[in-house]
Structure 1
Amino acid sequence: MQAAGMLKLLSFLPSGVTKRIVQSAVLIRNPYILGVRVIVEDASRQVLLVRHTYLEGWYLPGGAVDRGETLEQAASREVLEEAGIEAEGAPRLLGMYLNREATGRDHVGLFHLSAWKEAPAYLAPNSEIAEARFFPIDMLPDNLSPATARRLSEFRDRAFPSGAYW
């Protein structure tokens, strides 16, 4: 089954079950996961958030680093795939974190991207992303993931990193 078909099938399950299935499948392929999340800022200093088709809530765009890919390359690729945003220059690394809440094996590189341009699929939904939108940093949606809320609070206060855990 192709990835898009699998995501559609998983979208019918409760989000907790879907999360466990996705994490388990990833662990079989790679027991240690390196991922990225990206704070994308527009000209008016609003930040980009995405809603996945298979999870509830709003998240920073991001995902796993592919084999042979640098963290910076993964950050640029993920924002292009998830939001149709093409990086102009390298995203800036803000910090590295251990994500104890997922598998206890995930490490997440957090990046900031402010120089970018719209690509053809700009903010368009796809099989993974139900919605992508920019929000004022002081008017974020209520249903942020806890880690997203922590990282954006740190970003707003320019307090990186506040700890070693995602």
Structure 2
Amino acid sequence: MALQKWLYRLARMYWKIRRPVTMGSRAIIRQDGNILLIRQTYVEGWYLPGGGVKRGESFQQAIIREVAEECGLEAVRPKLLQLYFSRNEGKIDHIALFEITEFSAIARAKTDAEIAELRFFALDDLPEDTSPATRRRIGEYAANQFRAERW
């Protein structure tokens, strides 16, 4: 875990110097009115599942892959909710936010070493250390108002 934190810090320094353009996908995974959040091993707090888009992938393909890797879930028909832009970590990032309401558990060869914990939470009872951006996205989702362009 210490190695992952160190690598994450190193990546952030690189992003501040090089300012790469990246793409990512995040998902609001909903079941019985609750939202699935993840806690990663290399950064504090709770976040929406997701990650980077690999070369040759679409945003949708990336979120299906990330949800399988991080959560052990096979997503069915992710619905695009909004596209966002961010410069928060020094990189120029484009993030697609999806809603996933249909999914099934899948067998995985191993658990994702980046994920410390995953759990469903009620919309009005999120953990205190939920990231500010995650809170904003969930608030927009609850209000069904996706007006923000910045992550």
TM-score normalised by structure 1 residue count: 0.82
Deviation (angstroms), 1:128: 0.5
> Which residue of 1 is the match for residue 149 of structure 2?
164
Identity level (%): 42
Q: Which runs of 5+ in 2 are unaligned?
A: none
- Give the paired residue count: 150
C-alpha distance in 2 between matches for 1:163 and 1:47: 20
Q: How does 1:2-81 map to 2 (within 5 A)?
A: 8-11=2-5, 13=6, 19-24=8-13, 31-42=20-31, 44-81=32-69
> Which residue of 2 is the match for residue 110 of structure 1?
97
> Which residue of 2 is the match for residue 99 of structure 1?
86
Q: Which runs of 5+ in 1 are unaligned?
A: 1-6
Q: Tell me the amino acid that sits aligned with residue 107 of structure 1.
A: H
Are residues 119 and 102 of structure 1, via their aligned partners in 2, closer, same or farther at CA, if it must alter by over 3 Å?
Answer: same
Deviation (angstroms), 1:133: 0.6
Deviation (angstroms), 1:102: 1.5
> Which residue of 2 is the match for residue 141 of structure 1?
127
Q: Secondary structure at the match of 1:41?
A: strand
Q: Secondary structure at the match of 1:68?
A: coil
* 8 Å CA contact retained: 2:16, 2:89: no
Are residues 76 and 28 of structure 1, via their aligned partners in 2, closer, same or farther at CA, if it must alter by over 3 Å?
Answer: farther
Are residues 165 and 139 of structure 1, via their aligned partners in 2, closer, same or farther at CA, if it must alter by over 3 Å?
Answer: same
1:8-59 superposed Cα distances (whole Å, 9 cap, x missing partner): 5134x5xxxx5432334578999210001110111x1211100000000000
Which protein is richer in strand relative to its size? 2
Whose relative contact order is higher, 1 or 2, with alpha carbons under 8 Å and at least 6 apart?
A: 2
C-alpha distance in 1 between matches for 2:18 and 2:80: 26
C-alpha distance in 2 between matches for 1:128 and 1:96: 25
Q: Tell me the amino acid that sits aligned with residue 105 of structure 1.
A: I
* 8 Å CA contact retained: 2:19, 2:92: no
